[in-house]
Structure 1
Amino acid sequence: MFPLQTVLLPGEELPLRVFEPRYSALVRDCLATDDPGFGVVLIARGREVGGGDERHPVGVRVRIAVHEDYGNGQYRLNCPVQHRIRVVRWLEDDPYPRAVVEEWPDEPGSVTAGDIGVVEDEIWALYELIATVREVELPDRSAALGPGLPDDPGLRLYALAALVPIGAADKYAVLAAPGPVQRLAALREAIETVSAMVRFQYSGE
């Protein structure tokens, strides 16, 4: 397990520089397997370096797709996110953080194309608001919202969330939502939070 101070969503990629000895050992052990990868969870309290942190229970598994070994236990990794996981129980942090985890697919529930369309409209409205505040021009909507988004509603909501400048807590709420219905609600709430912050900033200028 690799606790970080950032939240990853399925469909994203993690570029990572590894230098701390315990995580160098983790990378070496992962690379010795047929399917090199590890779990990533958000640190609830504490720091990435040195241990002693508290960790959230929901995270993702990433696969080591590219690695460069710089020697002296230093690596550069590029790791696409594979799927969501949740921690069943933590083990001893020896020689590095370890846990028993399970894959956590979406729980039952569905959202419609109309629901997705509403979220996309809200994201575009946020982009327009930010562009107004910054006095910049927006690209074409289809380009801004990203071509080739997944057709699966649950995965599409992850992809849309990755396009919104939300904080770690809101992004974690999107990740930890049991299914697409709850994820839709979490994402819409996060968009409204960011929009309110931008409007407040704009009103004070």
Structure 2
Amino acid sequence: MTEMPMFPLGSALMPGEHLPLRIFEPRYREMLQDCIDSGEMRFGVVLIERGSEVGGGDTRADVGTIAEVVEHQRARNGTWALLCRGIERIRIDEWLDDAPYPRARMSTWPDGAVSDEAWNIWLQELKGKASGLINFLSAIAEEANQNLPIPTLAHADQPATEYTYATAHFMPITQADRQRALCAADPISRAKILMEAIDDARSALQFQLR
């Protein structure tokens, strides 16, 4: 177990995903300054399941992602603009006192192994679902003659874990589904969750268009 500063957010961060942040709360400004002083520019990000990002008193998920600060800039008013990148998945073993800022003891949680043969089957299934949603959204945008945001298809030549995390990032699924995907034990389990989430996203869009 390793002790680490934590940043609870209203969104789940995937490993490999970039996360822009604006730091204005005094406790997180202190957290970032401690990271800078120590040279350890990393902290944990977990989803707030209930409550607010500001002020504390929230209910937090026990699975999250280590975020590494890749760019940081301080404004004259003391706030910070950060660009972070998700590094690897973690489990929270124990929450510590929130003073002066949230901290926890955590352990990294790698994916379980799956065979290449099994993964290739699910890769094609998941890729087909994601492509179907992209084509559906593109058709809507063309019919409406609007410049709608169209998600990106993850590169299929990535390792299974990276591909599923990238798909969770790119697809327009709910935060709850993103968190479920983050908590999956292995890439195939995550692919199954993502396929259901993509179907749900498409159904929701079709309902809105009625």
Q: RMSD of aligned C-alpha atoms?
A: 1.8
What secondary structure sits across from 2:29 in the alignment? Answer: helix
Q: Which residue of 2 aligns with 1:153?
A: 160
Match of 2:62 among 35, 57, 62: 57
Q: Is the 8 A contact 2:66 2:87 kept in 1?
A: yes
Matching of residue 13 in structure 1 with residue 18 in structure 2: yes
Matching of residue 127 in structure 1 with residue 156 in structure 2: no
Q: Which residue of 1 aligns with 2:175?
A: 168
Q: Which amino acid aligns with 2:40?
A: D
Partners of 1:51 and 1:158 in 2: CA distance: 28
Matching of residue 27 in structure 1 with residue 35 in structure 2: no
Superposed CA deviations along residues 111-163 of structure 1, whole A, max 9, x for unmatched, are 422311221111111122222333268xxxxx9425x5562111111111212
Gaps of 5+ in 2: 1-5, 146-150
Q: Is the 8 A contact 1:129 1:198 kept in 2?
A: no
What secondary structure sits across from 1:177 in the alignment? Answer: coil
Match of 1:81 among 74, 78, 86: 86
Q: Which amino acid aligns with 1:26?
A: M
Q: Which runs of 4+ in 1 moved over 6 A?
A: none
C-alpha displacement of 1:15: 0.6
Q: Which residue of 2 aligns with 1:47?
A: 52
What secondary structure sits across from 1:17 in the alignment? Answer: strand
Partners of 1:68 and 1:200 in 2: CA distance: 43
Q: Is the 8 A contact 2:66 2:90 kept in 1?
A: yes
What's the TM-score once normalised by structure 1's chain length?
A: 0.89
C-alpha displacement of 1:195: 1.4
Superposed CA deviations along residues 38-81 of structure 1, whole A, max 9, x for unmatched, are 00000011000011011000000011111112244311111111
Q: Is the 8 A contact 2:46 2:61 kept in 1?
A: yes
C-alpha displacement of 1:174: 0.5
What secondary structure sits across from 1:32 in the alignment? Answer: helix
Output aligned runs, 1:169-184, within 5 Å. 169-184=176-191
Gaps of 5+ in 1: 138-142
Q: Is the 8 A contact 2:152 2:171 kept in 1?
A: no
Output aligned runs, 1:104-115, within 5 Å. 104-110=109-115, 111-115=118-122
Q: Which amino acid aligns with 1:14?
A: L
What's the TM-score once normalised by structure 2's chain length?
A: 0.87
Partners of 1:104 and 1:120 in 2: CA distance: 25
Partners of 1:35 and 1:97 in 2: CA distance: 16
Partners of 1:181 and 1:150 in 2: CA distance: 16
Q: Which residue of 2 aligns with 1:195?
A: 202
What secondary structure sits across from 2:73 in the alignment? Answer: strand
Aligned residues: 197
